[in-house]
Amino acid sequence: MRILDVNNSYSPSGGGIRTYHEQKLAWFASRGHEIALAAPGPHPGTETRGSATIHWLESLPMLGSGYRICLRGEPVADLIDSLRPDIVEIGSPYVMPGIVGEALEGSGSRAVGYFHTDFAECYVRPGVSRLLGRRAGDLAAAWAWRRVERTYSWMHAVLGASPSILSRLHAAGLRRLLHAPLGVDTALFSPAARSEAVRRSLGAGDGRTLLLYLARLHPEKGLARLMDAYPLFRDPTRIVLAVGGRGPWKRRLDRFVREYPEVRRIPYAAGRTDVAALLASADVYLSLGEAETFGLAALEALSCGTATVLPGSSGAADMAAGFGLVPYEPGSPDALAKAVVAALREAGPAVSERLRRRVLGGMDWESSFARIERCYRMLIEAPDPRRGGWEPPEGGWWRP
């Protein structure tokens, strides 16, 4: 089949979305499919990666975030007309759904949305709440969910990575929903990546336990919650907190490290091998995003056999349940501090083996993309699902 992914949220320096697309390009190409990615780049052009292709679109930078956005429809329409894809997967909710919808009018291509970013809960509700109060935040989030329904309802189907996010999409009025969890490179993200040299470099070579936060420096990833909770479990003689990542909260993190100089600041780890070594070398990993649609970084840590602290909300709650972990109450620094202490106490070989075994039971990229491939075939082979005949199963979505 011919597949075109289009995503304004892709960045060469990004996190989970970048990983998803790069793994997907390689896997689908290896299966003999024609696959391409269209994403915003600093210069328009084409890049070949094995049998897959990346088409860089004319775009504008987004306020120094490392991300860019394509606003013009003509290059996308020309690309669709040239490639004539069977499936177009739209991975971002901003601008691109409208561009693709217009370009696909009258074509036989199937349009699939992948709901990677819960923008209503990640950005709209907390942002408006901080400025105007909780009531205004609730109203703004309700408006954003109506926007979600309008953005995705014209598509043939929408993929979601976790039951929690699918439930929210169903509540917003969407019906043609498919469960498509992400996966992990189990060979790279493995207990074998653990490095005593990494532990020593972070100050944990003397028997102290290593607590790791590695994420974009932004409120959506729970950094503020960590800063509030740290004084409640701080113990420099026994615990080393190491923080890595980059993002708009760098200056706030710098102030935090000045206040607590024992906190180790990790330079940005661009290579996946470096990330795997950090995750495997930690005793406990902190995955604190309270509006995650899945939690790919958490899965990578769990694949390394590293005990992981997760909030009890959205995709993170699903992840915790799937691994038999007890999540902490979202929004509570005290609950987070208690969860950290409990995880540090319980971390060890037995827990590591149990977590690793669970990942090896079908949470790799092979399993993930085989499921997405089945989703695509369902859509290509069926009559237009938008015209009826796709009555949702019990629960509201399909699990191909």
Domains of the chain, residue spans? 2-183+365-387, 191-359
Q: Which residue has the higher pLDDT, 394 or 160?
A: 160
Nearest C-alpha neighbor of 15 from the set 343, 307, 299, 257:
299
CB 132 within 8 A of CB 284: no
Comparing 2-183+365-387 with 191-359, is the CATH topology the same?
A: yes
The per-residue pLDDT for 355 is 98
What's the pLDDT score for residue 219? 85
pTM: 0.94
**Tokens at residue 214, please?**
């590695």
Domain 2-183+365-387, second-level architecture: 3-Layer(aba) Sandwich (3.40)
Question: Percentage of the chain surpassing pLDDT 90?
Answer: 84
Confidence of residue 341 (pLDDT cuts 50, 70, 90): very high
Half-sphere exposure of 333 (CA within 13 A, CB side): 12
Residue 61 bridge partners (DSSP): 68
Mean predicted lDDT score pLDDT of the chain: 94
Query: Tens digit of pLDDT for each residue in 307-325?
Result: 999 999 999 999 999 999 9
In tens, the pLDDT along 8-47 reads 999 887 788 999 999 999 999 999 999 999 999 999 999 9
- Mean pLDDT in residue range 85-109: 94
pLDDT bracket for residue 206 (50, 70, 90): confident
> How many residues in the chain?
400
Residue 286 and residue 15: Cα distance in Å, rounded? 16
Position 218 scores a pLDDT of: 86
Q: Does domain 191-359 have CATH number 3.40.50.2000?
A: yes
Q: What pLDDT is attached to residue 12?
A: 81
Provide the token pair at 275.
Answer: 């990330």
pLDDT the model gives residue 392: 74
Secondary structure of the chain in the HEC alphabet?
Answer: CEEEEECCCCCCCCCHHHHHHHHHHHHHHHCCCEEEEEEECCCCEEEEECCEEEEEECCEECCCCCCEECCCCHHHHHHHHHHCCCEEEECCCCCHHHHHHHHCCCCCCEEEEECCCCHHHHHHHHHHHHHHCHHHHHHHHHHHHHHHHHHHCCCCEEEECCHHHHHHHHHCCCCCEEECCCCECCCCCCHHHCCHHHHHHCCCCCCCEEEEEECCCCHHHCHHHHHHHHHHHCCCCCEEEEEECCCCCHHHHHHHHHHCCCCEEECCCCCHHHHHHHHHHCCEEECCCCCCCCCHHHHHHHHCCCEEECECCHHHHHHHHHCCCCCECCCCHHHHHHHHHHHHHHCCHHHHHHHHHHHCCCCEHHHHHHHHHHHHHHHHHCCCHHHCCCCCCCCCCECC
Region 122-151: mean pLDDT is 95
Contact 148, 302 (CB under 8 A): no
Is pLDDT at 220 greater than 90 in this prediction? no
Residue written as tokens 């909030």? 311
pLDDT of amino acid 157: 95
Rounded CA separation 288/218 (Å): 11
Is the Cβ–Cβ distance between 289 and 225 less than 8 Å?
no
